[in-house]
């Protein structure tokens, strides 16, 4: 039926097949083109929504495309930049980079994460990480480049901050290590002569004079140890703003005489001359006698420490307007000009690095300055330079009033007590209990002892004591519990003894009815003075008793 000779109709099927085949090809091409269009549209959307700048340029460095990310980072719009040379984005000192980049592109090389800087429309320098790849035509020739620029300014800033924090942490760590090394050295040093002295005493070969000498030396070194611990605690209190002054009318000349008396053995040991010129007529201040004593003692101790044997220390007081000025001058090693202010910083030792020639923690002056400033005063140093001596000047507002009778702390040692008292001593450390009881009995007091709250309560039920001296930390409770029983049974003055010397501890024991709070280790002389004078002058009365 399909035979053309039969029908007379030409056979068109080969053409039709060809046309159909062409149509199929066309259709495939059309489908491929629209698939390409879709792909292109997707790519364009990705490029547009990228946070990075995506730019393409010709091999002559002329910008051809510019996405929204590029506008965000560099500030120029696509209209402003397409057709412009890429050099516009390079800071003057980096223009040379473009030549090198183009050379590499022409060789078909790609650059990954090249960290550099570019400049924005408003002149800001931006840290960027660049990835640049060559664009090739169908025959593989490089015809341009695509460039992705990521703004890493913020990241750089974080890195810089992180590095600064790391450096600071390392510096603090090194300072801490250095401080611990110094601290451990300073805490161990005074213990050496104490241990050696104990060994000698145990061997029993010392003459009475040698024994007395050893004991005096041990006492000196233990006092030094206590001073170091006190300095650390004071420093902690000051830096936490927790120092509270116990102000009273204070005779500064009396404090200076007491300091000189305390330091006599050291003046003698170094053959130093000491002069006091109490020129000030108004010699009283409204101040905390204990803290001011500590300030003057620290200045005099430093003068002794930093003045070579045979030198001279002069303490002078004057009035200027409404102030009292105390100057401690020595003929010692002096202070370099660049150190004069720095020595008041905590742990600062006038530029001495790890030389432990003079010992100390470098806290004394920092603490003294803070104490003087708490009294609305000033502490300053001056020196003509190294080897030329130093002068420390304390300026305080003076008080124009009559002095009160002397307080309990000023008391020459060795005399009999004015008031023999009945004392209950509560302490769980057997050696401390035994030794303190012996010392107090030696002064004429009648002393009973207890090691626990229960024992103390038993004694208090039977007898009334003038003074209760109680450790705060006890095995079956606290000294506060003992004080409660004592108050129930009568009018007993309380002295709390505690290893915790912070203001909150003092507050707690006062609230419990103790009149005094003494930090451990207890200086027996201080305890004796407290027992003998408690209730006589200026002490807070036990809670519940009228004045």
Coil, strand, or helix at residue 316? Answer: strand
Q: Does 362 bind ligand ADP (CB under 6 A)?
A: yes
Coil, strand, or helix at residue 131? Answer: strand
Q: Does 228 bind ligand ADP (CB under 6 A)?
A: no
Supply the minimum distance, in Å, between the C-beta of residue 272 and ligand ADP.
12
Q: Does 349 bind ligand ADP (CB under 6 A)?
A: yes
Q: Does 390 bind ligand ADP (CB under 6 A)?
A: yes
Supply the minimum distance, in Å, between the C-beta of residue 266 and ligand ADP.
14
Residue of the chain from 74, 76, 296, 306 that contacts ligand ADP (CB under 6 A) = 306
Supply the minimum distance, in Å, between the C-beta of residue 350 and ligand ADP.
2
Tokens of 494: 């309380």
Supply the minimum distance, in Å, between the C-beta of residue 307 and ligand ADP.
7
HEC string of 144-184?
EEEEEEEECHHHHHHHHHHHHHHHHHHHHHHHHHHHHHHHH
How far the first Cα of the chain sits from its last, in Å, is: 143
Q: Does 330 bind ligand ADP (CB under 6 A)?
A: yes
Q: Does 234 bind ligand ADP (CB under 6 A)?
A: no
Q: Does 332 bind ligand ADP (CB under 6 A)?
A: yes
Spatial neighbors of 255 by CB under 8 A, at least 6 apart, are 289, 292, 293, 296
Distance (Å, rounded) from C-alpha 240 to C-alpha 229?
17
Binding-residue total with ligand ADP (CB under 6 A): 22
Residue of the chain from 283, 287, 364, 542 that contacts ligand ADP (CB under 6 A) = 364
Q: Does 518 bind ligand ADP (CB under 6 A)?
A: no
Strands 323-330 and 312-320, sheet pairing:
antiparallel
Distance (Å, rounded) from C-alpha 315 to C-alpha 320?
16
Coil, strand, or helix at residue 412? Answer: coil
CA neighbours within 13 Å on the CB side: how many for 61?
A: 16
Q: Are 53 and 74 in contact (CB under 8 A)?
A: yes
Distance (Å, rounded) from C-alpha 256 to C-alpha 292?
10
Task: Name the strand (E) or helix (H) holding 324.
Answer: strand 323-330
Q: Does 67 bind ligand ADP (CB under 6 A)?
A: no
Is the bond into 521 cis (omega within 30 degrees of 0)? yes
Q: By CB under 6 A, which span of 130-138, 358-366, 418-426, 449-457 interacts with ligand ADP?
A: 358-366
Supply the minimum distance, in Å, between the C-beta of residue 334 and ligand ADP.
6
Q: Note the residue count of the chain.
A: 547
Coil, strand, or helix at residue 30? Answer: helix
Q: Does 363 bind ligand ADP (CB under 6 A)?
A: yes
Q: By CB under 6 A, which span of 82-90, 126-134, 329-337, 457-465 interacts with ligand ADP?
A: 329-337
Residue of the chain from 350, 377, 407, 513 that contacts ligand ADP (CB under 6 A) = 350
Residue of the chain from 145, 148, 280, 361 that contacts ligand ADP (CB under 6 A) = 361
Burial of 340 (0-12, 13-18, 19+ CB in 10 A): middle
Q: Does 303 bind ligand ADP (CB under 6 A)?
A: yes
Token pair 């003038």 is at which residue?
466
Q: Does 302 bind ligand ADP (CB under 6 A)?
A: yes
The backbone torsions φ and ψ at residue 401, rounded to the nearest 5 degrees and listed phi first, read -140, 165
Residue nearest to ligand ADP (CB): 360
Coil, strand, or helix at residue 478? Answer: strand
DSSP conformation class of 404: P
Q: By CB under 6 A, which span of 9-17, 42-50, 359-367, 490-498 interacts with ligand ADP?
A: 359-367
* Residue 158 or 358 with smaller CB distance to ligand ADP: 358
- Binding flags for ligand ADP, 163-182, as an x/- string (CB under 6 A): --------------------
Q: Give me the helices (H) in 285-380, please.
A: 289-305, 364-374
Q: By CB under 6 A, which span of 104-112, 326-334, 435-443, 528-536 interacts with ligand ADP?
A: 326-334
Name residues contacting ligand ADP, limited to 19-48 (CB under 6 A).
Answer: none
Name residues contacting ligand ADP, limited to 438-467 (CB under 6 A).
Answer: none
C-alpha angle with apex 269: 264 to 271, nearest 5 degrees? 90
Q: Does 395 bind ligand ADP (CB under 6 A)?
A: no
- Binding flags for ligand ADP, 246-285, as an x/- string (CB under 6 A): ----------------------------------------
Q: Does 513 bind ligand ADP (CB under 6 A)?
A: no
Q: Does 365 bind ligand ADP (CB under 6 A)?
A: yes
Residue numbers at the binding site for ligand ADP (CB under 6 A): 298, 302-303, 306, 330, 332-335, 343, 348-350, 352, 360-366, 390
């Amino acid at each position: 039926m399909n035979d053309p000779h039969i029908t007379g109709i030409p056979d068109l099927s080969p053409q039709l097949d060809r046309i159909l085949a062409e149509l199929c090809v066309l259709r495939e091409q059309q489908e491929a083109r629209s698939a390409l269009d879709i792909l292109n549209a997707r790519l364009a959307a990705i490029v547009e929504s990228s946070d990075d700048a995506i730019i393409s340029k010709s091999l002559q460095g002329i910008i051809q495309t510019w996405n929204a990310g590029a506008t965000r980072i560099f500030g120029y719009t696509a209209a402003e930049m397409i057709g412009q040379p890429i050099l516009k984005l390079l800071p003057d000192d980096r223009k040379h980079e473009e030549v090198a980049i183009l050379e590499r592109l022409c060789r078909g090389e790609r650059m990954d994460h090249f960290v550099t800087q570019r400049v924005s429309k408003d002149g800001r320098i931006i840290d960027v990480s660049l990835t640049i790849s060559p664009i090739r035509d169908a025959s593989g020739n490089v015809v341009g480049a695509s460039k992705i620029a990521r703004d890493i300014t913020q990241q750089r800033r974080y890195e810089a901050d992180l590095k600064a924090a790391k450096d600071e942490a390392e510096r603090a760590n090194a300072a801490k290590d250095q401080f611990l090394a110094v601290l451990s050295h300073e805490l161990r040093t005074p213990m050496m002569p104490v241990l050696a002295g104990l060994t000698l005493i145990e061997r029993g070969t010392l003459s009475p004079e040698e024994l007395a000498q050893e004991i005096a030396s041990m006492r000196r070194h233990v006092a030094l140890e206590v001073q170091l611990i006190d300095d650390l605690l004071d420093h902690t209190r000051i830096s936490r703003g927790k120092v509270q002054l116990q102000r009273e009318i204070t005779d500064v000349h009396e404090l200076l005489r007491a300091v000189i008396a305390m330091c006599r053995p050291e003046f003698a040991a170094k053959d130093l001359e000491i002069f006091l010129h109490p020129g000030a007529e108004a010699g009283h201040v409204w101040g905390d006698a204990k803290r001011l004593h500590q300030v003057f003692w620290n200045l005099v101790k430093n003068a002794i420490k930093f003045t070579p044997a045979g030198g001279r220390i002069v303490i002078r007081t004057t009035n200027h307007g409404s102030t009292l000025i105390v100057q401690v001058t020595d003929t010692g090693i002096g202070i370099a000009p660049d150190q004069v202010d720095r020595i008041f910083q905590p742990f600062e030792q006038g530029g001495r690095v790890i030389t432990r020639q003079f010992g100390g923690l470098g806290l004394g002056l920092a603490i003294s300055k803070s104490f003087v400033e708490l009294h609305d005063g000033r502490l300053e140093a001056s020196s003509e330079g190294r080897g030329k001596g130093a002068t420390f000047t304390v300026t305080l507002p003076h008080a124009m009033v009559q002095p009160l009778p002397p307080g309990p702390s000023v008391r020459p040692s060795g005399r009999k007590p004015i008031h023999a008292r009945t004392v209950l001593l509560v302490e769980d450390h057997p050696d401390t209990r035994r030794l303190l009881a012996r010392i107090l009995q030696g002064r004429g007091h009648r002393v009973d002892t207890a090691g626990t709250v229960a024992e103390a309560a038993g004694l208090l039920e039977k007898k009334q004591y003038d003074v209760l001296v109680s450790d705060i930390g006890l095995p079956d409770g606290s000294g506060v519990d003992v004080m409660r029983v004592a108050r129930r049974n009568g009018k007993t003055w309380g002295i709390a003894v505690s290893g915790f010397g912070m203001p909150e501890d003092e507050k707690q024991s006062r609230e419990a009815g103790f009149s005094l709070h003494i930090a451990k280790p207890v200086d027996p002389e201080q305890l004796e003075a407290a027992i003998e004078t408690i209730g006589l002058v200026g002490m807070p009365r036990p809670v519940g008793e009228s004045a």
